[in-house]
Amino acid sequence: MKNKKTFLKGIFTAAFLTIIAMSFNTCSDPSAEDKLPDDPPVTGSDVFRMIWQGAFENAPANPQEVWVYYNKTDNKVWVFFDNAWHRFAQDGLPGSVPQIGANGNWWIDGVDTGKPAIGTDGSDGNPGTPGSVVTIVGGYWFINGVTLLQ
C-alpha cells in the first residue's frame, strides 16, 4: 500500500509540475532584445511570467526574479521575487478512497457511510411515440416507405 501511495504521489507531483509549466507558458527566459536589465515580472490580469528551474533538494544558487522550482525536501513549489523565495504551492495530503461495499453502501477509507450507492427504482415514464421504419430494398434505403434517392 505504501508503494502505491508513493507511486501515486509521484504521478500527481509530475502532473502538477507539468500543469504549472504549461499554465504560465514560459519555460525559458525571454530573449535579450525583449528584456531590459532588472526588468520586473510581467504581470497583468492574465499573465505572470515564471521561469521553471526544475526539482531540487535546496533552492537554486544565485536566483533571478521569477525563477520557480520544486523543493523535493519540503514538497513545496517556490517562486523568487522581491529578492526572496515565496511559497507558491504545496503538496496536499493523499485523498480519500471511495468504493461500494458488499452491502451496497458507499465506503470511504474503509468506513461505511450508511449511504446507499444505488437509489431505488423510480416510476415508469410515459410511453414514447413510435419510431420510423427503416427498410433496405434492392440496395436502396427507405424511411417510412419513402426512398432517400429520387
When the pLDDT of each residue in the chain is averaged and rounded to a whole number, the result is 75
Closest CA to 17 of 55, 59, 48, 47: 55
Name every residue whose Cβ is closer than 8 Å to that of residue 132 and which is 6 or more positions away in sequence: 143, 144
Per-residue pLDDT tens over the stretch 45-77: 445 568 899 999 999 999 998 888 999 999 888
Closest CA to 29 of 1, 59, 58, 50: 50
pTM (two decimals):
0.37
Rounded distance between C-alpha atoms, residue 147 and residue 91, angstroms: 63
Q: Cell numbers at residue 115, please?
A: 449511504
Rounded distance between C-alpha atoms, residue 109 and residue 95, angstroms: 9
Per-residue pLDDT tens over the stretch 11-27: 666 556 655 555 444 44
For residue 113, pLDDT over 60 is answered with yes
At residue 89, the 3 state secondary structure works out as: strand
